[in-house]
Structure 1
């Protein structure tokens, strides 16, 4: 039996409408995550938004909430089952981003909900390495306590210890990070790809407090 043009058009528009509705809900979910509006998050999910939907940067709603340090929104999404290890187009995940940026309240949520401690960012580093570089002392301790490998080497052949010296400022926060990494068993004899150790880098930069700790 041949279908009329009207029937075909009706079927087409019905299909388009069905597709548009989840898309609109996904947009609402992203907006709610960005604002930190937990009620709107629950509403969008109840109305069919996809928990793991991606925006044009490959970010999930959880990563959007993490970027905004929206703690309650991140908690609501994680409790709904959001993947704390889902990576965007530049290989950031909620876990990795929170660790790198020192967002400790959010970081504790992925750590309690299946964070992949071996996952790496676009530089081949674990969450511990950028946390050490940026001077996030308590973040470094959280990651050490969680069991992140302290001697992991990124693509530059730097460990967290090397990065704290090379890219740090030699100030109290980075000195404390060096101290905590060593206390956690970091190997100070590991050198960069040019054969230069953390101690030698600290000496070259005149970071006397770091030198004292490393010696």
Structure 2
């Protein structure tokens, strides 16, 4: 009986134990099979085992994110280097069109941008809405990343679906150094949208004094006016600058209307025409309905200061 029981145990129980062990091993290996999951979890022990095992480095998650995407997202320079050496695709995009290089630009990490470019990342790839990597880097304001992209052949005059350029993004965000780099690379300072907006209008609307002056020094027209480009308006779609604007609005009028009084003073000093009535009214008219307390504009001078400058410009004498 003892023999039979032992024999039965060997014949029936032992195979079940081995099957369970094999199943456990398979499950464990399956849990480690996706390198992207391990990098997302920042599980460096599993990452190390998978790389040693030469796991598929480009195996995506369900949304298309790869191990390289996550490594760039976490600014893990050394891991990105290892993944690229192991054959990671620097141009992989997820379901939403996000590229590793776009994540590096969002993080304003110029060293990562340079590493990905050296690993084969294409600098003129576009994402949803036609946005380029250079536009992202220009918006975040990292001059090193912008320089690296331009040196690798990024187009400074590429347009997104709203016709906006990298220079417009940099101007709106107030990144003077990036604006200067883009201008030096040949960016069009007078590129115009369907609304009539140019880089200067974006800078003025946001009250970016240094950027506005840099654009003017580079040749932007200080007395330009907003004039809808009817043949382009249809393509401009939901562009923020397509919201209702007055025909004939100049940078000076736009500055005054938005309460950027210090900028308005600088524009007058640089030659903006204080008597311009192409919109149907002058800066002085605009001053009469602008209501903006000094404390809310981070130190901008009061409307009375602007009036004084306008008076010295002979505006009051002519009215």
Scaled by the length of structure 2, the TM-score of the pair is: 0.55
The residue number in structure 2 matching 1:24 is 31
Equivalent-residue separation in structure 2 for 1:61 and 1:106 (angstroms): 15
Unpaired stretches in structure 2, ≥5 consecutive residues: 1-22, 217-319
Given the superposition, is the C-alpha separation of residues 134 and 27 from structure 1 closer, same or farther in structure 2, using an over 3 Å criterion? same
Which residue does the alignment assign to 1:93? 99
Deviations 1:4-38 (A, max 9, x none): xxxxxxxxxxxx9998676433335531465273x
Q: Report the Cα distance in structure 2 between the residues aligned to 1:207 and 1:47, rounded to whole angstroms.
A: 53
Report the equivalent of 1:107: 113
**Rg comparison, structure with higher value:** 2
Name 1:47's counterpart in structure 2.
Answer: 53
Cα displacement string for residues 25-64 of structure 1 (whole angstroms, at most 9, x for unaligned residues):
3335531465273x75353144362211111321011111
- 1:1-215 map, 5 Å: 23-27=30-34, 30-32=37-39, 34-35=41-42, 37=44, 40-47=46-53, 49-166=55-172, 168=173, 170=174, 174-215=175-216
CA RMSD in angstroms, aligned pairs only: 2.5
Equivalent residue pairs, number: 195
Contact 1:36 1:72 in 2 (8 A): no
C-alpha distance in structure 2 between counterparts of 1:20 and 1:207, whole Å? 57
Give the Å deviation of 1:156: 1.9
1:3 corresponds in structure 2 to none
TM-score by length of 1: 0.80
